Amino acid sequence: MARLIQLREALQEGMSEEMRRDENVFLMGEEVAQYNGAYKVSKGMLDEFGPRRVIDTPIAELGFAGIGVGAAMNGLRPIVEFMTWNFAVLAFDQIVNNAAKTLAQSAGDFHCPIVFRGPSGAAGQLAQQHSQTFESWLGNCPGLKVVSCIDPADAKGLLKSAIRDDDPVCMMESEMLYGHKGEVPEGEYTVPIGLAAVRHYGTDVTIVSFNKMVLEAMKAAEELEGMGISAEVIDLRTIRPLDYATVVESVKKTNRLVVVDESWPMFGVSAEIAYEIQKYAFDYLDAPVTRVNSADTSLPYAPAFVEEYLPNPAKIIKAVKEVMYV
């Protein structure tokens, strides 16, 4: 049986279940304890697990990320919450130079089982320094797994898998969608890292996306259906490792691909997918792979410019029509 709950509630359930399952799991971050989290994701966890396992930190991302990495290297399983991944830039030395490299530097002898999580991407009028996406930044780094998902059931299952993983996982959420509701199963389950999900089946064109852009792709697919165009929408869920097989199989059927990515267009997830599909599914393509990205500039503050900056259903439909030659 499933329940309709919010993304924040699903994430809270995932963390709480893993903390009950394994006493080595703990949560740390800014405002996660007394305040129940900046987005109320950790609501009630301090009451259940106490201040030794739900820990408020100073506003010092590099410092508490380093504490988390050290704890992971010594047998614990930290969940480190960043109020936003934009602030996590201060902690990249710990994430990229320490956590990500532990396994390789030790020739496989030592692991760093840590989860870094928090919201990524635009969230209303938060302007340049609070609106960047980090899937492409971190997906470029060997040694990290990167998850980016806003479906409540999948997010819970992926978070549980991330906590159990013996190596570092970066989880991207969305500030705008912590209240997004979905059906979440009762009982114990996990979702494997590295598998995409088909959200909408179609035969004419494949639309690949992740995080909140999946919702924009779904809106576009509904409008396209009214135009007689059948779009298949794939939610990547995991950025690294990326499930190319699911995308290739879809392209073999539809012969066209549009990638929707909130990241900037240069050197990002969409560019990587375009390369891989044109390499491994070239003979199946009836049109070049097309991308829909945010504008190649910093996100403006003005609402009218924000609308122009981000991908939306109208831009996705335009791209689909281009690959359909209509």
What is the C-alpha separation between 224 and 231, in angstroms, rounded? 7
The DSSP element (H or E) to which 73 belongs, if any, is helix 61-73
What is the C-alpha separation between 164 and 40, in angstroms, rounded? 23
Q: DSSP letter for 90, please.
A: G
Pairing of strands 197-200, 231-235: antiparallel
What is the C-alpha separation between 76 and 63, in angstroms, rounded? 17
- Max CA pair span of the chain: 60
| Residue 252 neighbours by CB distance under 10 Å | 13
Catalytic-labelled residue, pool 61, 135, 173, 216: 61
Active site residue 61: yes
* Letter string b/e over residues 54-69, b meaning 16 or more CB atoms within 10 A of that residue's CB: bbebeeebeebbbbbb
The DSSP element (H or E) to which 164 belongs, if any, is helix 152-164
Catalytic-labelled residue, pool 130, 135, 173, 216: 130
- Six-digit token pair at 18? 């893993």
Active site residue 180: no
- Going from the C-alpha of 226 to that of each of 33, 202, 223, 304, 322, the distances in angstroms are 48, 13, 5, 28, 17
Q: Which residue has the tokens 């190649």?
A: 296
* Letter string b/e over residues 220-250, b meaning 16 or more CB atoms within 10 A of that residue's CB: bbebbeeeebebbbbbbbbbbebbbebbbeb
**Residue of 181, 324, 161, 297 whose CA lies nearest to 241:** 161
- Catalytic residues, which ones? 61, 130
